[in-house]
Amino acid sequence: MKNKILLSLLFLPFFQFAQDSQGSCSSIKKHNHSHLKSNTFTVTQIAQTELYDVHYYFLNLNMTNLSTTLSGSAEIHAKARVNLDTALVELYNSFTISSIEVDGTPVSYNRQNSALKIPINKLLGQNFVIRVNYSGTPPTSATNPLGGGGMTNASSPSWGNQVTWSLSEPFSAYEWFPVKQSLKDKADSCSVWVTVPSNCKAGSNGLLQQVVDLGNGTHRFEWKHKHPIDYYLISVAVAKYVEYNVTANPAGSGPVLIQNFIYDNPGTLPNFQNDIDETVDFIELYADLYGPYPFADEKYGHCMAPISGGMEHQTMTTQGFFNPTLTAHELAHQWFGDHVTCSSWADIWVNEGFASYSEYIMLENLYPGDELQDMLDKHSNIMSQTGGSVWVQDSLNDGSIFSERLVYNKGAAIVHTLRFLVGNDQVFFDALKNFQVIYADSVASAIQLIDVVENESGLDFTNYTEEWYFGQGYPTYSVRWNTVGNDLLLEINQTTSRPAITPLFTNDLELLFDRTTAADTTIRFQITGTQNQFIIPNAADFVNITKIDPNNWICNKSNGIVKDANFTAGIKENPNRPSISIYPNPTNGPITIEMANHWGDFHLALMDHKGGLILSKDFTSWTTLDLKEYAQGTYILQVTDIKSGEVFSKLIKR
């Protein structure tokens, strides 16, 4: 058993698509757009699309599971943000357009590559409906050097089913329907109607309103989604499926349907059924931690496709298999990515960092012990190279947007670090719940997310943001120590892998100590420089330092721990360090905290035995606390004074 406590310290400054192989969310998205270099619109054209606000998409398509060829119509319901003569819409130029209508009237239009310039002649605030009647075959990476993969057809080598499915992230929605590709302009709702052969099913967003038998060997699946949705999360998948449903009962909502479209191969469902059933546990876990499942009035679900990972289409993820971490990752996107979406691709951490960390959360809660190796594996991958930022500088390059090392693994690792720095899981997860409330059905940047955590915790994460989010690399720590009398002297040194960019990481750091008269003890140290020296008083039973960062909170390397008998340099007791009186201690109710022989401005923090913050307050010279409502146990009281440093004391509640 390991006991984590905070002691009195003196601080001195100094793929191929046709594979069913198990991959990841990152690998499928990166492969899907491996040739993608930029959005096809210029900056000027993108600005023109912002002159109207999309409210609703209605897709009515004819498709099969045998090819990507499609036909039908797409409607964009929108409102003019200015007096607007022309609306600019994006559609890949291989499609044949039979007609375009505005408010039911055919119009002439101008077509240049993927840009459709459509006359609408609306005043500020007026609504309009654009309907595009079109047909053709979406591009592949061979026919569209800028993308390919918005719509794909392939057969599962494992199960034999042939599937047609969409994957639009980040810029490929225009490869299969007319669209405005703007993250910040979520449609209020969408409908996706898909007519398919009678032996196939079509999965999409929201609720299946009805299946209409058209009497000609086809039937139409009519899906309706009544929540705001970003363009790249609209989806369709067509195959010979069977439907397998389960129900979850997450906190904060009624029962949630989990609707699964699984290959009709007789062996597929028995192979994956137990894994699919785990989705119930995952959704109930995340609802406890992140807030109610955002689309509980509709569903969650899966459509199978022969991909080496998954794509978090809103309310109905497309997945190639049901590995627990993949299923958990894609489900977590319903909160981080779908309900709240990154406000720019540079801020993809909001989506992928938190979905990737949700894999760790799932393992921690449902497969306890496995999360330790998960984080070690992430750290190992991150440190396979010395640099790179979680923030995506080249946000038009999908190789950067979907970097498994930086966006997914380092993104998850720095969420883990943020949780550590908050120091209180209740506060940390309350912040994530508040983030979901504040930015519900909208978009948010990384800075806005961190601001919510700051407001909830009362802590300043400026250094964290600069060092771990915008910065590059990782720290390497070395420790030397010695004992003098009953005191343990300690020095923590740090170098960084990219010193020209990030010369210092100022996060706290834990060390693990062996003791002769107590359990192994983890102590947390504040790091403010490349060299940091500390005294642990009354530490006669501390016999060794066995590990740096024993709980893997920080992505770091260790350069060794050395006991140095000659190490005494520079550490002196601070003569102005205040002494603290607490009475009565132990207590079963009120206590008085008094700073002996000191008058000034003090800050008090009460922490649990793990260092988690419970409450904080400012006072001068003395103050009182009432612990009557607190659980029995040991608490740590930290009092800080700018002039004379900080002092810690143990407090026992009976």
Q: Determine the Cα–Cα distance for residues 116 and 112; give it in Å rounded to an integer.
A: 7
CB of 625 within 8 A of CB of 649? no
H-type helices in 117-267, by residue range?
none
Asked if residue 322 lies in contact with residue 309, where contact means CB atoms within 8 angstroms, the answer is no
Residue 577: pLDDT above 90? no
Q: Which fold has domain 579-653?
A: Immunoglobulin-like (2.60.40)
- Under CATH, domain 25-353 is a member of which superfamily? tricorn interacting facor f3 domain (2.60.40.1730)
Mean of pLDDT values over 374-381: 98
**Cβ-contact 262, 241 below 8 angstroms:** yes
Indicate if the pLDDT at residue 21 is higher than 60: no
d(CA 554, CA 418): 9
Average pLDDT value over all residues in the chain: 90
Cα gap 293→492, rounded to integer Å: 44
Is there a cis peptide before residue 266, judged by omega within 30 degrees of 0?
Answer: no
**Cα angle: 454, vertex 432, 344; to 5 degrees:** 85
DSSP 38: S
464, pLDDT greater than 50: yes
Note the pLDDT tens digit of each residue in 181-209. Answer: 999 999 999 999 999 999 999 999 999 99
CA distance 465 to 462: 5
The answer to whether residue 115 scores a pLDDT higher than 70 is: yes
Residues of the chain with CATH 2.60.40.1930: 579-653
pLDDT of residue 44: 92
Residue whose structure tokens are 């550490």: 571
pLDDT of residue 1: 37
State whether CATH 3.60.15.10 applies to domain 354-469. no
Find where tokens 């403010």 sit. Answer: 528
Going by C-alpha positions, the residue among 551, 453, 428, 557 that lies closest to residue 505 is 557
Report pLDDT for 583. Answer: 73
Strands 189-197 and 579-583: unpaired
One-letter amino acid identity for 634? T
pTM: 0.85
Residue 518: per-residue pLDDT: 82
Tell me how far apart the alpha carbons of residues 165 and 306 are, in angstroms, rounded to a whole number: 9
- What is the rounded radius of gyration, in angstroms, for the C-alpha atoms of the chain? 29
CA angle 213, 306, 273 (to 5 degrees): 75
* Residues contacting residue 362 through CB under 8 Å, at least 6 positions apart: 282, 285, 324, 325, 328
Q: What are the beta bridge partners of residue 111?
A: 116
Predicted pLDDT of residue 23: 58
**Does the structure show a pLDDT above 80 at 611?**
no
Strands 241-248 and 256-263: antiparallel
- The pLDDT of 32-41, averaged and rounded, is 53
Q: Which stretches does DSSP call E strand in 91-150? A: 96-102, 105-106, 110-112, 115-122, 127-136
Which residue has tokens 């039937």? 219
433-450 residue pLDDT tens: 999 999 999 999 999 999
Q: How far apart are CA 63 and CA 282, in angstroms?
A: 33
As assigned by CATH, the class of the 3-13+474-563 domain is mainly beta
Q: Where in the chain is the domain with CATH 2.60.40.1840?
A: 3-13+474-563
Q: Please determine, for residue 639, whether its predicted confidence score (pLDDT) is greater than 70.
A: yes
**Has residue 582 got a pLDDT over 90?**
no
pLDDT value for 4? 37
The Cβ-side half-sphere exposure at 452, using a 13 Å CA radius, reads 18
Cβ neighbours for 120, distance < 8 A, ≥ 6 positions apart: 80, 84, 85, 86, 87, 102, 128, 130
Higher pLDDT, 297 or 536: 297
Q: Which residues contact 561 (CB under 8 A, 6 or more apart)?
A: 478, 479, 480, 481, 545, 546, 547, 548
- Give the mean model confidence (pLDDT) for residues 417-440: 97
Statement: residue 536 has pLDDT above 90: no
Within the chain, all domains assigned CATH 1.10.390.10 are found at 354-469
385 CB contacts (<8 Å, ≥6 apart)? 405
| Overall average pLDDT of the 612-633 stretch | 83
Residue 601 is predicted with a pLDDT of: 76
Predicted confidence band at 34 (pLDDT cuts at 50, 70, 90)? Answer: very low
Residue intervals of the chain classified under CATH 2.60.40.1730 are 25-353
DSSP state of 48: H
pLDDT digits (tens, 9 = 90+) for 117-170: 999 999 999 999 999 999 999 998 766 555 568 999 999 999 999 999 999 999
pLDDT band at 654 (very low <50, low <70, confident <90, very high): confident
pLDDT at site 145:
53
Which residue(s) pair with 248 in the sheet? 256
Predicted pLDDT at 351: 98
Cα distance between residue 561 and residue 190, in whole Å: 59
Distance between CA atoms of residues 437 and 441, nearest Å: 9
